[in-house]
Amino acid sequence: MSYFDPCATVQCENGGTCMRPTESQYPIDYYKEWCKCANGWSGAYCTCAGTTQRNVIFLLGNTPSVGNQSNYDKMMKLCGDIVDDFGIESNNTQVAAVTFGGTPKIAFGFASYRNRQQIKNAFLSLSYSSAPAFLGA
């Protein structure tokens, strides 16, 4: 079976590398950014220069509306996958997480972790709760 190869047409610049999807990722999202940019570069094709600093807060529902532990685990993995795209090691991005159920809780603050793997591990260590959400009025 032949698959679409985004790297056949994607031109990553400034030291960026095109990331080929694995077979398990098919069918793929054709609009996904396939370039993994070198430090100091960002954008779909690694053409945006600079050291934009950002603080990113993940607000994570930790309620029965998530569905179950399996869905919660998938949500935490997705957060870790998103973190992979941030320039954390170059001190450009700080990440924090807040969970909410019955009461909002700071899961970890901006200064808690300084590299991608620590942050990804922190997401994976957050436990699922079935506390009510109390959303809406």
**Do the Cβ atoms of 57 and 90 come closer than 8 Å?**
no
Q: Of 42, 58, 47, which Cα lies nearest the Cα of 109?
A: 58
Q: Is the pTM of this model over 0.85?
A: no
**Do the Cβ atoms of 60 and 74 come closer than 8 Å?**
no
**Which pLDDT value is given to residue 128?**
83
Mean pLDDT, rounded, for 4-32: 72
Q: What is the mean pLDDT of the chain?
A: 79
State how far the Cα of 87 lies from the Cα of 39, in Å rounded to an integer. Answer: 7
- Is the pLDDT at 137 greater than 80? The verdict is no
Decide if domain 52-137 falls under CATH 3.30.565.10. no
- Is the pLDDT at 121 greater than 90? The verdict is yes
| Single-letter amino acid, residue 71 | N
Domain residue ranges in the chain: 1-50, 52-137
**Which pLDDT value is given to residue 51?**
61
- Is the pLDDT at 25 greater than 60? The verdict is no
Class of domain 1-50: mainly beta
Mean pLDDT, rounded, for 34-53: 78
